[in-house]
Amino acid sequence: MTDLTDSSPNVGRGAFSESRRFRAMAVELGVYESESHLRARCAQRIGISEDDILGLRIARRAVDARRRGRTHDLRFVFHVDLDLSPDAACGKELARALKSGRAREVEPTMLFEVPEVDGVRRDRRIVVVGAGPAGLYAAWTLATNGVAVDLIDRGPALRDRGRAVVRFTRTRELDPENNILFGEGGAGTYSDGKLYTRTQHALEAPILQTLIDAGADSEIAFDARAHIGTDRLHRILPRLRARLEEMGVRFHFGTRLEGLVRSEASTVSALRTSAGEIPCDGVILAVGHSARDTLRSLSEEGLILEAKPFQIGLRIEHPQALIDEGRFGPGADLERLGHAYYSLVAKSTRETSAVHSFCMCPGGQIVAAVAQHGMLCTNGMSNSRHSSPYANSGLVVSVGPGDFGEGVFAGVEFQERIEARFFDAGGGDYTVPAQRVRDFLKGRESSVLLRSSYKLGLAAIRIDELLPPRMTAALRGGLRKFDKKIPGYAGEEGQLVGIESRSSGPLRIPRDRQTRLAAGFANLWPVGEGAGFAGGIMSAAIDGARSAWALLGHHESK
């Protein structure tokens, strides 16, 4: 049995017995209480004796920063997995705790391995297109199960990618094949590396474990705000690639998918790429949602795509100290708590649409996340220590056919129009249009802009006039509401830049629920954000791995 409450790195495969496992929910500890008190708190929460807890490990740790009345009564809230004695596992106390929600039964952790893959499925040569999280974890799952995989990406390996990103920041010359969006690790390589997801799929733990094995902090396994940071991701990704290569995956960087060669209408027999034809028995398409050219040309070749609603908005930046104080109260111990995050939602009203914050980066930096000439799009990244003095976040509003019209690519064209408008307004050199929040609310240009983490310069522009009026109205409504939750949010120290147009994708590639095959294809599996089935690093990785399972004939029960 394992008792790991006295040390944080407590996650590992096989740490638990195969018997039923239970999770004590919402167990609280004061900010300065030691985790060694968890055993007693869990016993208390469930109503059993401490001696009946044979092993425990933290499944989730979060900071509860909700205000109680006027004060910030901060505490840590844990979910803790327990190995219980047979008596306790069958006892009335546990049954009562399960009924009331103080405990729940935990699904066994899944592994990448599929039992009994048949030889025909295993002996296929599969090409994975895209080295983002979806493609990498599809490749990982296939290789783990003995499938030969070639992984192609239009961008370069990380070393060359890093150089290109530095060059872009210095010269403002964009390489459309080598940038913040394209290359090893995909769009998540220059990010906050946030790893939390709402999917709660059982593959989450083994995916996190691969990252820990490659050098990520072991706390990502249970931290409710797990993140890696761009600096660490740059050390972890080459190790992941080395592991994949050991497992037999062959990487081909600088190789762009340009079209499909079919042996029959429904069967892809080779890929046309910028490096020549690559024969294959199956394709995992994991190109991300910035591969607009690829998705357009595949659509012309008969791949069915459909438009879907997506989100668009601005980035907002504040001093991180304002967010820390707003969330935790004055004088909070940031060494112990870490910098504050936020996740804000303003529901729709009769007059305005809903607004929510997205991809908040504490101690982060705003970057130009672009791969096409003549367009501007912002996003946020941060380093592992969240060390910049700025907090930034997306503030987004949903858009649908009512905003961009009918037609499969109408949403993409809407994105492109608005990205070009912001690019031109900034002067056409990646200077970003900016407006202080108070001026955005009042509808006037900012006479003085605030300092910002964005390195390519800011221009005072009426962003409120660059956006469609419905979005400006919604964002104004949202900002006023958010100011009540974090005092000063819509005040003197807040500044908006834009546009943030790629927080989610405008297209979906319809696929079969069970086989996960693209409509009309016998061997093409669309995955990840570009296919419209993910919205973040973890959800893309999980989607890639699950489609690899489907390719291997493993169908999940739900």
Ligand X SMILES: Cc1cc2nc3c(=O)[nH]c(=O)nc-3n(C[C@H](O)[C@H](O)[C@H](O)COP(=O)(O)OP(=O)(O)OC[C@H]3O[C@@H](n4cnc5c(N)ncnc54)[C@H](O)[C@@H]3O)c2cc1C
Q: What's the min distance (Å) between Cβ of 138 and ligand X?
A: 9
Question: Candidates 282-290, 306-314, 411-419, 514-522 — which segment interacts with ligand X by CB under 6 A?
Answer: 282-290
446 touches 463 (CB < 8 A): no
Q: What's the min distance (Å) between Cβ of 9 and ligand X?
A: 22
Residue 135 in contact with ligand X, rule: CB under 6 A: yes
- CA 230 to each of CA 98, 236, 383: distance values in angstroms, whole numbers, following the listed order: 40, 10, 5
Report CA 371 to chain centroid distance, whole Å: 19
* Calpha distance 485→344 (Å, rounded): 8
Residue 132 in contact with ligand X, rule: CB under 6 A: yes
Question: Candidates 37-45, 84-92, 378-386, 512-520 — which segment interacts with ligand X by CB under 6 A?
Answer: 378-386
Question: Candidates 84-92, 345-353, 458-466, 522-530 — which segment interacts with ligand X by CB under 6 A?
Answer: 522-530
Q: What's the min distance (Å) between Cβ of 281 and ligand X?
A: 18
Residue 403: strand, helix, or coil: helix
The one among 35, 150, 192, 223 contacting ligand X by CB under 6 A: 192
CB atoms within 10 A of CB 329: 15
Residue 532 in contact with ligand X, rule: CB under 6 A: no
Cβ proximity to ligand X, 66 vs 250, nearer residue? 250
The one among 154, 201, 225, 339 contacting ligand X by CB under 6 A: 154
390 touches 319 (CB < 8 A): yes
Report CA 504 to chain centroid distance, whole Å: 10
**Strand partners of residue 264:** 267
Q: What's the min distance (Å) between Cβ of 502 and ligand X?
A: 6
Whether residue 486 is preceded by a cis peptide bond, meaning omega within 30 degrees of 0, is no
Residue 529 in contact with ligand X, rule: CB under 6 A: yes
Binding mask 393-432 for ligand X (x = CB under 6 A): ----------------------------------------
Residue 149 in contact with ligand X, rule: CB under 6 A: no
The one among 56, 152, 425, 434 contacting ligand X by CB under 6 A: 152
Q: What's the min distance (Å) between Cβ of 193 and ligand X?
A: 5
Cβ proximity to ligand X, 102 vs 154, nearer residue? 154
Cβ proximity to ligand X, 89 vs 314, nearer residue? 314
Contacting residues for 147 by C-beta, under 8 A, at least 6 apart? 121, 122, 124, 126, 551, 552
End-to-end CA distance of the chain: 31
Phi then psi dihedrals of residue 503, to 5 deg: -70, -20
Residue 133 in contact with ligand X, rule: CB under 6 A: yes
Edge-to-edge strands, sheet with 282-285: 250-253, 148-153, 125-129, 282-285, 524-526
* Calpha distance 107→257 (Å, rounded): 39
Output the CA angle 285-291-415, nearest 5 degrees.
135
Q: What's the min distance (Å) between Cβ of 514 and ligand X?
A: 21
Contacting residues for 516 by C-beta, under 8 A, at least 6 apart? 525, 527, 546, 547, 550, 551
Residue 498 in contact with ligand X, rule: CB under 6 A: no
The one among 158, 359, 376, 551 contacting ligand X by CB under 6 A: 359
Residue 155 in contact with ligand X, rule: CB under 6 A: yes
74 touches 64 (CB < 8 A): yes
Residue 66 tokens read as: 């909700």
Question: Candidates 98-106, 192-200, 328-336, 507-515 — which segment interacts with ligand X by CB under 6 A?
Answer: 192-200
Residue 244 in contact with ligand X, rule: CB under 6 A: no
What is the binding site for ligand X (CB under 6 A)? 129-135, 152-155, 180-183, 186-188, 190-194, 256-257, 286-288, 290-291, 294, 359, 367, 369, 379-381, 528-530, 534-538, 540
